[in-house]
Chains A and B, each alone.
Chain A
């Protein structure tokens, strides 16, 4: 609801700004695209019987206005969704920048990306749209904007980014009408989602400090806020009649390091996930604290062919407390959950054609996600991509295994201006 009001207000403000800007701004540009995006099931129909995971036409407008030291950016989408048969507006980003010599500020809806992972996020604490990713939408739709303020401070010996987010935004997970997914309590349909209320205490804080250390890019991270994935709290653990979906409190302490090594680029990232409401790990309805670690390596094999490899592991703290308190019948998480990935990208025809292959595979669980894609730029303004998302392995409850019936093939066509 807040979002809806915010969006409406923002659109009105945008329109006013748009017409008043020419008077004040020295430099305005308008760009965007027209896009069609369809994703067809290849294994089974959707739970509601539909054949498409995604089917839409979309117009995006990007307005940029500069008058030093100010900068305004508005990125807004209008789309028609054929599956839900509805048209809508979506403010993707809309912010005001102010720049000074040693600091800057950005206020409004903005996309922030931290960390070094390729589709693996430890210190990128900002909201994601996994439905977009699994439905074969362009990669930029994986990231959602946050409504908040970011201050950059650049005293010289270190750079700082300080983010405050007063309005909580959860991750977006696939729609249960479109995706076959694991649900531990399918019988209980009375569900209520409870997001953290907007107040000063619940304002999320994220800090990143970074600098060069002996040729490596080094970062430290801190986050205080909430898990963006909902957890289920039954009203009565023995005879539940209602489930409350809520977002447990979370703090993260992290670090990353990236640089040239072994004829390629080597990356390390780690984070300690402090589950503040269940530090002892005894409450099975709350996540335990975790340590997460990522190592990545990227290398050019030959001209225009790049290989990226990643190994990621999550370690659950107080595992015995978790196991001892888990009600019978619940799927048991592992103490260690790991994930490997490989990405191959080959550019052809003067870098106008891109063949790419991305795969996730979990050695501990045995499930996988495969994403082959071909993209071709027909002209400098028109490109098209076709690809597929293939899920399987593991169990019905595992990260990718639960989507075994959701394989899809997609097409994206974009005219950019």
Chain B
């Protein structure tokens, strides 16, 4: 009998101890998707495609540096190549998980740096279907998370996490995320509106290994209600390139160093 009990405990124990909670899965996913490496660089090509097929292009270099642990503060530096009327503009974000971002924009035509108001992290990023939060992440504690099922996407085993915002002023009522069990990248996300209808779908369309970090180098956000979608391709993607703290300053907003933005 005692032997049986020990056996039972041995079987049950790993499940109790080693099974990940939904919050832990989301934390690992955030670390894999938004906090890999000490720093990160990518040339980002965004195609904004209307229902009728009209395309607009937003091309930029994004530089990111972590300050502290995964889930902590980050700084972003963005330089715009296209479209022509925003060429040479730069944009800097100090991201804090627990409070509003600090954001600065540099307007080259009048050589002016100005702070811009940044209360709504659910606002569209440069007019695309991605929000600021989709680019730089959402605080895990802003939602309650539950494992709703486990499912395969292609040949990848995934957890499916249902995340429900605690606040009522969010544009979706809940989100389902398909998180790869191996590398913890979100392979798909479905956003459901207030009526419970699916209205936005995110897909990671290409995963590449860069310096040992699995990275979603192609991604799409599609708005099912408007028919508008945004396709994003990362190129020149790199990690741990030694971005100095001083890059995130007014000096370099006004004169972005070629070695980082090219």
- Can you list, as one digit per residue, whether each of A78-116 has a CB less than 8 Å from chain B (1) or not (0)? 000000000000000000010100001000001111001
Minimum CB distance partner of B226 in chain A:
A350
* Distance in Å: Cβ of A160 to nearest Cβ of chain B: 11
* Distance in Å: Cβ of A124 to nearest Cβ of chain B: 9
> Which residue of A31, A265, A352 is within 8 Å of B56 (Cβ)?
A352
Q: Does B45 contact A (CB under 8 A)?
A: no
Whether A383 pairs with B110 at a CB distance below 8 angstroms is no
Which residues of B from 221 to 262 have beta carbons under 8 Å from A? Answer: 228, 246, 249-251, 255, 258-259
Given A350-B56, A352-B56, also A263-B85 (CB < 8 A): no
Contact residues in A for B111 (Cβ distance below 8 Å): 110-113, 143
Contact residues in B for A140 (Cβ distance below 8 Å): 109-110
Q: Does A416 contact B (CB under 8 A)?
A: yes
From B109, B123, B128, name the one whose CB has the most chain A CB atoms within 10 angstroms: B109
Q: Does A347 contact B (CB under 8 A)?
A: yes
Q: How far is the CA of A33 from the CA of B71 in the complex (A)?
A: 43
* Distance in Å: Cβ of A275 to nearest Cβ of chain B: 27
Whether A258 pairs with B115 at a CB distance below 8 angstroms is yes
Q: Does B82 contact A (CB under 8 A)?
A: yes
Contact residues in A for B9 (Cβ distance below 8 Å): none
Interface size class of B (residues with CB under 8 A): 35 or more
Whether B82 pairs with A302 at a CB distance below 8 angstroms is no
* Distance in Å: Cβ of B199 to nearest Cβ of chain A: 15
* Distance in Å: Cβ of A110 to nearest Cβ of chain B: 7
Contact residues in A for B139 (Cβ distance below 8 Å): none
Contact residues in A for B258 (Cβ distance below 8 Å): 27, 66, 68
Minimum CB distance partner of A263 in chain B:
B119
Whether A299 pairs with B117 at a CB distance below 8 angstroms is yes
Whether A381 pairs with B119 at a CB distance below 8 angstroms is no
Q: Does A48 contact B (CB under 8 A)?
A: no
- Can you list, as one digit per residue, whether each of B76-114 has a CB less than 8 Å from chain A (1) or not (0)? 000000111101000000000000101000000111101
Minimum CB distance partner of A303 in chain B:
B123
Q: Does A389 contact B (CB under 8 A)?
A: no
Contact residues in B for A215 (Cβ distance below 8 Å): 102
Q: How far is the CA of A99 from the CA of B102 in the complex (A)?
A: 27
Given A27-B258, A265-B115, A298-B117, also A380-B87 (CB < 8 A): no
- Can you list, as one digit per residue, whether each of B138-166 has a CB less than 8 Å from chain A (1) or not (0)? 00000000000000000000000000000
* Distance in Å: Cβ of B50 to nearest Cβ of chain A: 8
Q: How far is the CA of A97 from the CA of B128 in the complex (A)?
A: 35
Contact residues in A for B259 (Cβ distance below 8 Å): 68
> Which residue of A113, A210, A264, A379 is within 8 Å of B112 (Cβ)?
A113
* Distance in Å: Cβ of B255 to nearest Cβ of chain A: 7
Known contacts A159-B249, A304-B124, then 20 further A-B pairs from the complex at CB < 8 Å, ordered by chain A residue: A68-B258, A113-B112, A140-B109, A154-B246, A210-B250, A258-B115, A259-B115, A260-B115, A265-B115, A265-B117, A298-B115, A303-B120, A303-B123, A303-B124, A350-B56, A350-B124, A351-B126, A352-B127, A381-B84, A416-B84
Q: Give me the interface of B with A, judged by CB distance under 8 Å.
A: 48, 56-57, 82-85, 87, 100, 102, 109-112, 114-120, 122-124, 126-128, 228, 246, 249-251, 255, 258-259
